[in-house]
Chains A and B, each alone.
Chain A
Amino acid sequence: MNRRSFLTTTAATAVAATAGLPLRAAEPMKVGFIYVGPVGDMGWSFQHDQARQAAEKALGGKVKTTYMESVPEGPDAERALTQLALQGNQLIFATSFGYMDAVVNVAKKFPKVKFEHATGYKRADNLGTYDARFYEGRAIQGYLAGKMTKSNKIGYIGSFPIPECVQGINSAFVAARKVNPDVEIKVVWAYTWFDPAKEADAAAALIAEGCDVIMQHTDSTAPQAKAQEAGNVYTFGQASDMSAFAPKPRIGSTIDNWTPYYTKRFTDAVEGKWASDATWGGIASGMVEIGEITSAVPDDVKAGALELKDKIAKGYHPFTGPLNKQDGSVWLKDGETPDDGVIAGMNFYVEGIKAELPK
């Protein structure tokens, strides 16, 4: 009861003060996470949770993590983040774009607590952002798709018309066109990150349109199951490996591997070296991993895909000019590459894509 009396002004400031105290060696540092979906979604939140566990293990008792799942974006997220901060977590990860304004607000209230926001773009001294260059993985998928398609039609199940998805569509298409000039891409927006039934329907619609390679930007394995049922359709694992569907229909995957990043940030925080920054990791840093390319893919195609992966890891940009925008205007001149700002806000298709981007 005494404790309450000195927390009278705002609880926030009191705890913020204690949170900044140096750690005693025996006491593990507390790290918190909030996830937008259930940890059992087998996709986005699942991968973050796997990485949380792996990183905690890697630090060997120096950190103790907690998480909250299925936290809706909006005021509930702000409360959850505050709750984590009040509980003495000193490093807090908010793992969905929609948490952006909430994490900005909470970071302001707790200047001594460190925050990290996935896929956002607002930063502060105690708020860093991190994201993965998923489009690098899409380039490999595009390469495989261009080589493997017989109908020359590739399907893409988009979640929402946001830059991340547009990057993926463009990157896959550019890579596919390079190895197969006749290839077309068809896009269906599901307007959900996770709705197995709808994703299955979207896959079925694309298959009905003649697509024999399906890429998905949604998190469930429903499209994989649909492709398997259809027979000669290839798919890729999204976010997690989805290896249950290997070797066919799933012939490869883009895996979000947050473990190296979380391990590094945990370590930085424990050693007092943490600083806010904007990390945008790709294949080179291991944040984007390419899952096993299965035996359904001919050896030479597999070799080509792995070569492309190495090239990207060594600095080759999936968006290397000459590239035009959909309307035919020049985007990148020969050999030119875009800066990160353009990629981050990408809201146009490249030339050759027939679909119209919803505005």
Chain B
Amino acid sequence: MIVGGIDVVTLISMLMVASTPVLLAATGELVAEKSGVLNLGVEGMMIVGAVAGFAAAVTTGSPVLGFAGGALAGAAMAALFALLTQVFLSNQTATGLALTLFGLGLSALVGKPFEGVRPPPTGKVPFGPLSDIPMLGRILFSHDWVVYLSLALVAAVWGMLKYSRAGLILRAVGENHDAAHALGYRVIAVRFAALAFGGALAGLGGAYLSLIRVPQWTEGMTAGAGWIALAIVVFASWRAGRVLIGAYLFGGITALQLQLQAAGYAIPVHLLTMAPYVLTIVVLVVLSALHRHGAQAAPAALGRSFHASN
């Protein structure tokens, strides 16, 4: 299907792959923020996930183990963040920024021996005749397993937040940690778990970059994807379903911008790249205007340190 010189089917299937790393990272960050912690270190966790996943996959020869390694490394970085912010009660904003700095450096050091190496390939999921369905086949049934995993994770997080008791506790901790503490919930343990989950997903997203999307390891290869993940969570106003829309929107603008160029349009690249961020602000404003006298979209305890005073 061609619209204005752009093949829409290709665009959609491309943006699904392009958006997967930020979708994974944003879903993880969503859970962390729902617990009331703002972790600005997504970029650092992603890049450590990228290098660890790559190293694990190359060493073992198994991409699946690579993804596991990436997730573990991301979770380990998040645990470091959790230790500092939850136990040592350091400021979350500053610690998150420091985590990014640390992660970028660490990944570059660890990654030296893996420069110029090719990772074991990850194949597409064999859907057989399904992938031959016109249009839908290419959009829905032509990807690697991680793309489907990312979608499943979004659904799982959505269900968990909405229907499960764990989700309820998570939200309670994020909205009012003192009250949650008074009710007997272990605020710090919940936040540790949420952060670790967020880190694991960020690591997974990083590993997707180095193992499938690019695929190779190079220093600094996340190139700001972690920051986009943070923007997506805001854009999504802390709802799992909207994270999906946000990730595909942000990823889609990049894919669209390149495709428009390839189709021969002269477009103002920078103004177009700016657009999703402006849109995010508009969404934020609309949401906060709507909720002016009710509940705010952001978790109420977001960014605040918790210390049980008695």
Interface residues on B, range: 35 or more
Write the B50-62 contact mask toward A (1 if CB under 8 angstroms, else 0): 0000000000000
A38 and B264 within 8 A (CB): no
Q: At the interface, yes or no: A221 with Cβ under 8 Å from chain B?
A: yes
A-B contact count (CB 8 A): 99
Taking the closest CB of chain B, its distance from the CB of A84, in whole angstroms, is 22
For A209, list chain B residues within 8 Å (CB). Answer: 259, 262-263
Select the residue from B112, B115, B258, B259 with max chain A CB neighbours within 10 A: B258
**Of residues 100 to 117 in B, which have CB atoms within 8 Å of A's CB atoms?**
108, 111-112, 115-116
For B209, list chain A residues within 8 Å (CB). Answer: 196-197
**Of residues 157 to 203 in A, which have CB atoms within 8 Å of B's CB atoms?**
186-192, 194-198, 200-202
B115 and A225 within 8 A (CB): no
Write the B251-265 contact mask toward A (1 if CB under 8 angstroms, else 0): 000110011011110
Count of A interface residues, CB-CB < 8 Å: 35
B218 and A220 within 8 A (CB): yes
Taking the closest CB of chain B, its distance from the CB of A44, in whole angstroms, is 12
Q: Which B residue's beta carbon lies closest to that of A220?
A: B218
For B14, list chain A residues within 8 Å (CB). Answer: 201, 204-205, 208
Taking the closest CB of chain A, its distance from the CB of B229, in whole angstroms, is 13
A355 and B218 within 8 A (CB): no
For A244, list chain B residues within 8 Å (CB). Answer: 116, 118
For A187, list chain B residues within 8 Å (CB). Answer: 261
Taking the closest CB of chain B, its distance from the CB of A195, in whole angstroms, is 5
Q: At the interface, yes or no: A356 with Cβ under 8 Å from chain B?
A: yes
For B156, list chain A residues within 8 Å (CB). Answer: none
Select the residue from A189, A190, A205, A354 with max chain B CB neighbours within 10 A: A205
Q: At the interface, yes or no: A42 with Cβ under 8 Å from chain B?
A: yes
B254 and A198 within 8 A (CB): yes
A205 and B261 within 8 A (CB): yes
In the bound assembly, the distance between CA atoms of A197 and B112 in angstroms comes to 19
Which of A41, A188, A205, A222 touches B214 (beta carbons < 8 Å)?
A222
Which segment of B189-197, B219-227, B234-242 sits at the interface? B219-227
For A196, list chain B residues within 8 Å (CB). Answer: 209, 214, 216, 218, 221, 223
Taking the closest CB of chain B, its distance from the CB of A185, in whole angstroms, is 10
A195 and B223 within 8 A (CB): yes
Q: Which B residue's beta carbon lies closest to that of A204?
A: B14
Q: At the interface, yes or no: A55 with Cβ under 8 Å from chain B?
A: no
B262 and A205 within 8 A (CB): yes
**Of residues 20 to 39 in B, which have CB atoms within 8 Å of A's CB atoms?**
21
For A188, list chain B residues within 8 Å (CB). Answer: 258, 261-262
A38 and B220 within 8 A (CB): yes
For A208, list chain B residues within 8 Å (CB). Answer: 7, 10-11, 14, 259, 262
For B10, list chain A residues within 8 Å (CB). Answer: 208
Q: At the interface, is chain A mostly helix, strand, loop or mixed?
A: mixed
Q: At the interface, yes or no: B18 with Cβ under 8 Å from chain A?
A: yes
Q: At the interface, yes or no: A40 with Cβ under 8 Å from chain B?
A: yes
Q: At the interface, yes or no: A341 with Cβ under 8 Å from chain B?
A: no
Taking the closest CB of chain B, its distance from the CB of A91, in whole angstroms, is 27
Q: Which A residue's beta carbon lies closest to that of B115?
A: A40
Q: At the interface, yes or no: B213 with Cβ under 8 Å from chain A?
A: yes
Q: At the interface, yes or no: A137 with Cβ under 8 Å from chain B?
A: no
Q: At the interface, yes or no: A113 with Cβ under 8 Å from chain B?
A: no
**Of residues 199 to 237 in A, which have CB atoms within 8 Å of B's CB atoms?**
200-202, 204-206, 208-209, 211, 220-222, 225
Q: Which B residue's beta carbon lies closest to that of A242?
A: B116
Q: At the interface, yes or no: B215 with Cβ under 8 Å from chain A?
A: yes
In the bound assembly, the distance between CA atoms of A204 and B220 in angstroms comes to 21
A225 and B215 within 8 A (CB): yes
For B21, list chain A residues within 8 Å (CB). Answer: 197
Q: At the interface, yes or no: B269 with Cβ under 8 Å from chain A?
A: yes
Write the A32-52 contact mask toward B (1 if CB under 8 angstroms, else 0): 000000101110000000000
B214 and A225 within 8 A (CB): yes
For B261, list chain A residues within 8 Å (CB). Answer: 187-189, 205, 355
Q: Which B residue's beta carbon lies closest to that of A38?
A: B219
Given A205-B262, A208-B10, A222-B214, are A197 and B269 neighbors across the interface (CB < 8 Å)? no
A356 and B255 within 8 A (CB): no
For A191, list chain B residues within 8 Å (CB). Answer: 269-270
Taking the closest CB of chain A, its distance from the CB of B127, in whole angstroms, is 18
Q: At the interface, yes or no: B183 with Cβ under 8 Å from chain A?
A: no
For B214, list chain A residues within 8 Å (CB). Answer: 196-197, 200, 220, 222, 225
In the bound assembly, the distance between CA atoms of A201 and B22 in angstroms comes to 14
Q: At the interface, yes or no: B274 with Cβ under 8 Å from chain A?
A: no
For B266, list chain A residues within 8 Å (CB). Answer: 355-356, 358
Which of A186, A225, A358 touches B262 (beta carbons < 8 Å)?
A186
Q: At the interface, yes or no: A128 with Cβ under 8 Å from chain B?
A: no
**Of residues 110 to 149 in B, which have CB atoms within 8 Å of A's CB atoms?**
111-112, 115-116, 118
Q: At the interface, yes or no: A155 with Cβ under 8 Å from chain B?
A: yes
A-B contact pairs, 21 of them (CB 8 A): A38-B108, A38-B220, A40-B219, A186-B262, A186-B263, A188-B262, A189-B261, A189-B269, A190-B258, A194-B218, A194-B220, A196-B214, A196-B218, A196-B221, A197-B209, A197-B213, A197-B223, A205-B255, A208-B11, A225-B216, A356-B266
- Contacts A40-B115, A198-B258, A244-B116 aside, 7 further interface pairs with beta carbons under 8 A come to A38-B220, A197-B21, A197-B225, A208-B7, A208-B11, A225-B118, A225-B216
Residues of B within 8 A of A (CB): 7, 10-11, 14, 18, 21, 108, 111-112, 115-116, 118, 209, 213-216, 218-223, 225, 254-255, 258-259, 261-264, 266, 269-270
| Across the A-B interface, the 6 shortest Cβ-Cβ residue pairs | A356-B266, A205-B258, A208-B10, A196-B214, A209-B262, A205-B262
